[in-house]
Amino acid sequence: MAAQTILFDFTLDAGKTATSIQRQEVARIVRNELEHVFTQLELAYSMESMDNGYFSVLHENKETIITCRIFQQGLLTINVEYYLAAGKEPVLSLDKGKRLENALAKSLQALSGQKIPTLKRGDVARYYPSSVNFDAYERIIEYDIDTLVYEARSPFQKIQILHSKTLGNMLILDELQNIAESDLIYTETLMGRGIENYEGKEICILGGGDGALLYELLKEKPKHVVMLEIDELVMQACNKYLSSICGDVLEKRKTDQYEIIVGDCVDYMKKFIAEGRKFDYVFGDLTDIPISDAPIGECWDFIRTIFEHSFQLLKPDGKYLTHGNGTSCLESLQLFEEQLRLLKPKVKFTTTKAFVPSFMEEWLFYQVTFA
């Protein structure tokens, strides 16, 4: 089992927490309500801050420790933490927690309040952020993970395969969810299945180490697919633990139908450009955070570098297909589209979207062609 952290927030009328006496009164009410649940409660420590703040530590047998904080803005936070051993009943069950929240809200005459669903800490890592936002906004997602299937550190990143009860095996790279066995819709939306015709076409995949895109593309009878993936270890992990979405395409590095080149895609794109090699489709299926060794500076510079090279590899009627970001990441998507507008020669784009199960949100996908 694990430590349990249960967080409560209450918004109070800020006028009611302006003086030290008022804050003491709020603290008294909180303690009184907590004592209904935690009968052995003791005050261990309290402090006031210059800016009309207050903080205290309460505990029951030093096992359940509760911190209570009043911010000058009228916000009250209460954090309850204890260790729940296997087979033991929780100190604060769902019902008790809910009743405590209601009782506190009432006694405090709170304007609003919430109990955040219990956080479980110290067993398997289950909390990950939603889509990568360049505007520093992240949303917590809790996965129903029951097993850490695989963990290793390659020269490029931390690689984990975690098993979710509902999503199957998930590939997590540097703490970011990439793809799960549940995510055929991701690959199908990325490739525009049923819209694009890949028969007899020449295709280049940048990244794609999980093998799912290559696997689905090969079903559409292309002439040839070349995939440029930097991380050998990712492919080994996916070949072993994600075979339901990548089949056996990662078993071999080269067949008549495809070739997987292990290396930095930027280097190989330059090589292909020098050779005058051209493709009908280029897929951007890289991680959001660049792991390339190339000295390319910031994230957006990297993305633009990829764009520029990709378009040099495309036939005049070729298409560049890639994922964007979660549709909630408006700023990030705008920045992405700005990069597209900076390209020369000019390009135009369409978008599609899909709710990706393991991302637990809707994502936007881009189809870019020469203008």
Q: Which residues bind a copy of itself (CB under 8 A)?
A: 2-3, 5, 7, 9, 11, 44-45, 47, 49-51, 53, 55, 57, 59, 61-63, 65, 67, 69, 71-73, 75, 77, 79, 81, 83, 90, 93-94, 98, 112, 114, 116-119, 121-122, 125, 127-130, 136, 138-144, 165-166, 175, 182, 326-328, 330, 355, 357, 360-362
CB of 96 to a copy of itself, least distance (A): 10
CB 30 within 8 A of CB 100: no
Element (H, E) at 249: none
Q: What are phi and psi of 152, to 5 degrees?
A: -155, 160
Question: Which is closer to a copy of itself, CB of 114 or CB of 197?
Answer: 114
CB of 115 to a copy of itself, least distance (A): 8
CB of 101 to a copy of itself, least distance (A): 9
Q: Can you tell me which residue has the tokens 């890949």? A: 198
Q: What distance in Å separates the CA atoms of residue 106 and residue 94, rounded to the nearest whole number?
A: 18
Question: Which is closer to a copy of itself, CB of 143 or CB of 279?
Answer: 143
**Residue 209 token pair:** 């180490």
Question: Which is closer to a copy of itself, CB of 39 or CB of 112?
Answer: 112
**Residue 3 token pair:** 């430590």
Q: Where are the beta strands (DSSP E) in the chain?
A: 2-11, 41-49, 53-60, 64-70, 75-84, 112-121, 127-129, 140-142, 145-153, 158-164, 168-173, 176-180, 202-207, 224-229, 258-262, 279-285, 314-326, 347-356, 361-370
Q: Is 19 exposed, middle or buried (0-12, 13-18, 19+ CB in 10 A)?
A: exposed
For β-strands 258-262 and 279-285, DSSP reports them as unpaired
Question: Which is closer to a copy of itself, CB of 259 or CB of 361?
Answer: 361
Burial 188-220 (b: 16+ CB within 10 A, else e): bbbbbbeebebeebbbbbbbbbbbbbbbbbbeb
CB of 73 to a copy of itself, least distance (A): 7
Provide the 8-state DSSP code for 364.
Answer: E
Closest by CA to 325, choosing from 210, 197, 176, 192, is: 176
CB 39 within 8 A of CB 31: no
Cis peptide before 345 (omega within 30 of 0): yes
Say which residues have a Cβ less than 8 Å from residue 25's Cβ, sequence separation at least 6.
none
CB of 324 to a copy of itself, least distance (A): 13
Question: Which is closer to a copy of itself, CB of 56 or CB of 239?
Answer: 56
| Catalytic site includes residue 183 | no
Question: Which is closer to a copy of itself, CB of 76 or CB of 213?
Answer: 76
DSSP assignments along 285-319, one per residue:
E--SS----S---SHHHHHHHHHHHHHHHEEEEEE
Question: Which is closer to a copy of itself, CB of 14 or CB of 261?
Answer: 14
Q: Where are the beta strands (DSSP E) in 12-103?
A: 41-49, 53-60, 64-70, 75-84
Active-site position among 183, 231, 285, 288: 285
Give catalytic residues, as residue numbers.
285
